[in-house]
């Protein structure tokens, strides 16, 4: 797909920002959509071109986003909160639709910018990380009774780790850019964990883990923190809200946040799991989920962390081999660097496996 800038003007004209000649600037650190900040009359907006590489059915995606944000808005209001700040609000296009399709087939949508918030790229303090845990735990609880059957699967097999490994194997076999030779260690690391890829899926198939409505992309930078209170305010990036596993929502947060390095850090000596951050997040997530999780889910939390990290590494490596068509990159080799940090974190989780399981047991004991 062409640069979003090529049709940005068309998109700007399709929505009413309250004044003529609005400007848009690239915004945020998401890997998937093209995000712009728009200065409208008296308020700001987020304008996004939905990734066509990630999302094949953007209309269905928008149906999910509208359904979920409206539902959350009602629940938040019922509990005395402020829906305008605590969830996203979709702004309709001039033609009344929830999105606009440009002359090249790109799909654009607009949200109100949630003012007075900060979006962090790293868990700078344990308190901050705990706050994000409360936000995602609360998200789980708020959506507990959401009619799951009405949700479209926006990315088929999104957290199907077995399928992700199959796709990695296909990319290794095809190796269109002759890159596999430089990733032998990472490939070996991932293929050696083939049986692990089935751990959560087997538990789901056997009825040990339940399917729930989950966020599926619970990175720290997918929650906005209140600038004044430091508390988590608004869970964003709702494109992958689908039926899924609670342990994956837990695990993806751990993958990204329970360490002190960037996702693409090249010095792997800096990439280490911080078990204290893991502990702090687990307690906050479970408390805010308000008993929504079963004992089996709590016991599988370490698997959620390990599998989301392994799976994300598999996805980064697959994208590197396929020519970086899915995750945005700013420099060559970035997806390989990302894959390497994920391998390092998985190895660290394995090294601390008993401690991670002890966290679950302590949480269960505390809840009794
Ligand atoms: P991606 O799928 O590419 O990650 P996101 O929806 O997460 O896209 O948006 C990218 C970034 O834009 C976020 O990490 C956040 O910094 C910012 N952002 C998105 N929506 C809003 C909003 N409504 N208000 C304030 N910031 C936002
Ligand atoms: C993407 O959209 P963003 O940047 O919040 C990706 C996640 C990955 C993450 C890795 C729809 O998240 O699955 O875990 O990058 N989102 C999608 O940083 O594929
Ligand atoms: Mg995001």
Residue 353 token pair: 């496996």
Residue/partner pairs of 198-201 with CB below 8 Å, 24 or more apart: 198/161, 198/162, 199/303, 199/307, 200/161, 200/245, 200/247, 200/248, 200/300, 200/303, 200/304, 200/307, 201/160, 201/161, 201/162
Residue 22 token pair: 């609005």
Q: How is the chain split into domains, by residue range?
A: 3-115, 126-367
Q: What's the CA gap between 167 and 156, in Å, rounded? A: 13
Q: What's the CA gap between 355 and 350, in Å, rounded? A: 10
**What sign does the dihedral 233-236-238-240 (CA atoms) show?**
negative
Q: What is the pLDDT of residue 367?
A: 77
Name, in order, each residue with C-beta under 8 angstroms of 1's C-beta and a sequence gap of 6 or more: 52, 53, 104, 106
In short, whether 86's Cβ falls inside 6 Å of ligand 2 is no
- Ligand 3 center to 238 CA (angstroms): 9
Kindly give the residue spans of alpha helices, DSSP state H, lying in the chain: 8-14, 58-78, 83-86, 126-142, 161-174, 184-191, 199-205, 246-257, 275-289, 295-299, 301-322, 334-351, 353-367
- Ligand 1 center to 222 CA (angstroms): 7
CB atoms within 10 A of CB 332: 10
Q: What is the pLDDT of residue 349?
A: 98
Residue 59 token pair: 């209309």
In short, whether 111's Cβ falls inside 6 Å of ligand 1 is yes
Encode the chain (368 residues) as per-residue pLDDT tens digits. 679 999 999 999 999 999 888 999 999 999 999 999 999 999 999 999 999 999 999 999 999 999 999 999 999 999 999 999 999 999 999 999 999 999 999 999 999 999 999 999 999 999 999 999 999 999 999 999 999 999 999 999 999 999 999 999 999 999 999 999 999 999 999 999 999 999 999 999 999 999 999 999 999 999 999 999 999 999 999 999 999 999 999 999 999 999 999 999 999 999 999 999 999 999 999 999 988 899 999 999 999 999 999 999 999 999 999 999 999 999 999 999 999 999 999 999 999 999 999 999 999 998 77
**What sign does the dihedral 86-155-310-48 (CA atoms) show?**
negative
Report the predicted TM-score, pTM, of the whole model to 2 decimal places: 0.97
Q: Closest Cα to atom 9, ligand 1: which residue? A: 30
Taking domain 126-367, whether its CATH number is 3.90.1200.10 is answered by yes
Closest CA to 274 of 132, 121, 118, 129: 129
Q: At 33, is the secondary structure helix, strand, or coil? A: coil
Q: What's the CA gap between 264 and 287, in Å, rounded? A: 31
Q: Which ligand is nearest to the CA of 121?
A: 1
CATH code, 3-115: 3.30.200.20
- Ligand 3 center to 234 CA (angstroms): 13
- Across the chain, which distance is largest between two alpha carbons, in Å? 60
In short, whether 123's Cβ falls inside 6 Å of ligand 2 is no
Q: What's the CA gap between 275 and 330, in Å, rounded? A: 30
Total length of the chain: 368
Closest CA to 76 of 128, 25, 138: 138
């Amino acid at each position: 797909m062409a640069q979003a800038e090529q049709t940005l003007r068309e998109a700007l004209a399709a929505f009413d920002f309250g004044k003529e000649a609005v400007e848009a600037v690239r915004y945020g650190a998401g890997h998937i959509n093209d995000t712009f900040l728009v200065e409208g009359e008296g308020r700001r907006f987020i304008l996004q071109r939905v990734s066509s590489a990630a999302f094949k059915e953007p209309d269905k995606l928008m149906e999910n986003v509208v359904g979920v944000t409206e539902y959350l808005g009602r629940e938040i209001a019922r509990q005395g909160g402020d829906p305008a700040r605590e969830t996203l609000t979709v702004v309709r296009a001039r033609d009344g639709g929830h999105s606009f399709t440009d002359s090249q087939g790109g799909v654009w949508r607009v949200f109100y910018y949630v003012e007075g918030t900060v979006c962090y790229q790293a868990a700078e303090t344990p308190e901050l990380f705990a706050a994000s845990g409360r936000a995602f735990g609360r998200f789980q609880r708020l959506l507990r009774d959401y009619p799951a059957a009405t949700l479209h699967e926006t990315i088929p097999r999104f957290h199907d780790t077995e399928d992700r490994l199959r796709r990695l194997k296909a990319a290794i076999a095809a190796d269109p850019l002759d890159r596999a030779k430089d990733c032998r260690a990472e490939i070996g690391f991932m293929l050696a964990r083939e049986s692990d890829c089935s751990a959560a899926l087997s538990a789901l198939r056997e009825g040990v883990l339940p399917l729930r409505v989950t966020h599926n992309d619970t990175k720290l930078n997918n929650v906005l923190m209140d600038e004044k209170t430091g508390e988590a305010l608004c869970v964003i990036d709702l494109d992958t809200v689908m039926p899924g596993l609670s342990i994956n929502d837990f695990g993806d947060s751990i993958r990204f946040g329970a360490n002190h390095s960037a996702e693409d850090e090249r010095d792997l000596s800096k990439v280490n799991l911080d078990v204290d951050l893991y502990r702090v997040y687990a307690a906050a997530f479970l408390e805010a989920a308000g008993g929504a999780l079963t004992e089996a889910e709590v016991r599988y939390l370490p698997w959620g962390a390990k599998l989301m990290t392994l799976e994300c590494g598999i996805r980064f490596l697959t994208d590197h081999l396929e020519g970086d068509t899915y995750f945005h990159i700013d420099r060559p080799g970035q997806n390989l660097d990302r894959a390497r940090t994920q391998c390092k974190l998985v190895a660290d989780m394995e090294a601390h496996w008993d401690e991670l399981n002890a966290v679950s047991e302590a949480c269960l004991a505390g809840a009794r």
